Structure 1
């Protein structure tokens, strides 16, 4: 049972993880692979709204996707986009990336190989991964402007879609820990964490929502 305080703390972190960017036309839309086909759907919706003339889906498989997406996350995302009516020529696939850093680096290389001039990127991720994806792109692709996007939904709607409130809270906690840890390891740029989000994170860790924490200490 999740307490009222834990729910409130999780909502603080949920809101912090989102960049709250207003979508605007960019050179390309990049959908980051995961178990969530909603990323593909949202990327297609942004394409249809004229926010990008080209889509890149990036991602191999992971333990959570190898059964559902045996051909790779990016390949399944592309299949979804074609089902939704996107022309095949408007979708490129980067099928090798196994983490967010590789998503960015391999996508950048793919676009260079295809002669695509990139000034701005509409970066589409799961809602609670927006800030870390943004920080990763800023580190590894600093010369382009990054506009973050995800499926518009509330924390409660996302919990309902996953049907496991504890797991969702633990994912939020793990994502925030990485924002604290990864700048020191050179993976992402450092972004400020407001006091209320940090306090919520510390309370949730103390309450045992720790299964998604990286093993390395952030101290």
Structure 2
């Protein structure tokens, strides 16, 4: 049973993870691979709205996506985009990345090798990964303007879509831990975490929402 306090804390952390950027036209839209095909759908929607002339889908497979996307996350995303009517010429695939840093680094390499001039990136992720993706891109691709985007949905809509509230809260907690520790490891830029968000995070950890935490040396 999840307490009322935990629900309130999770909602606060969810809100912090979202950058609340207004989508605007960029050089390219990059859809970050995951278990969630909604990322592909959101990227296609932005493409249709004229927010980017080109899409890059990036991602290999992971423990959580191997069964669902055996050909690789980026490949399945591309197939979804083509099903939705995006021309093949507008979609590039980066099939090697296994974490957010590799998503950014390998997508950058792919675009440079393809001779694509990139001044701005529309970075499309799961809703609770917006801030982490933004901070990573700012570190690894400092010369471009980064705009974060995801499927527009509320916290409870996302919980319902996953069907496992504890799993979602665990993911929110894990994503925030990375925002706290990864800047010191050189993986992303540092971002200030408000005191109330830090307190909510600490309470959620104390309540046992810890399955997505990484060991801290």
Deviation at 1:17, TM superposition (A): 0.1
Deviation at 1:186, TM superposition (A): 0.4
Deviations 1:133-158 (A, max 9, x none): 00000000000000000000000000
Moved over 3 A (4+): none
> In structure 1, what is the equivalent of residue 83 of structure 2?
83
Alignment of 1:56-67 (within 5 A): 56-67=56-67
Q: Gaps (5+ residues) in structure 2? A: none
> In structure 2, what is the equivalent of residue 204 of structure 1?
204
Is 1:163 matched up with 2:163?
A: yes
Structure 1 SS opposite 2:182: helix
> In structure 1, what is the equivalent of residue 177 of structure 2?
177
Instruction: Count the aligned residue pairs.
Output: 217
Alignment of 1:114-129 (within 5 A): 114-129=114-129
Deviations 1:89-114 (A, max 9, x none): 00000000000000000000000011
Deviation at 1:68, TM superposition (A): 1.0
Structure 1 SS opposite 2:93: strand
Structure 1 SS opposite 2:147: strand
> In structure 2, what is the equivalent of residue 100 of structure 1?
100
Alignment of 1:110-149 (within 5 A): 110-149=110-149
Separation (CA, whole Å) in 2 of partners of 1:205 and 1:136: 24
> In structure 2, what is the equivalent of residue 2 of structure 1?
2
Is 1:191 matched up with 2:194?
A: no
Separation (CA, whole Å) in 1 of partners of 2:59 and 2:46: 19
Q: Gaps (5+ residues) in structure 1? A: none
Structure 1 SS opposite 2:180: helix
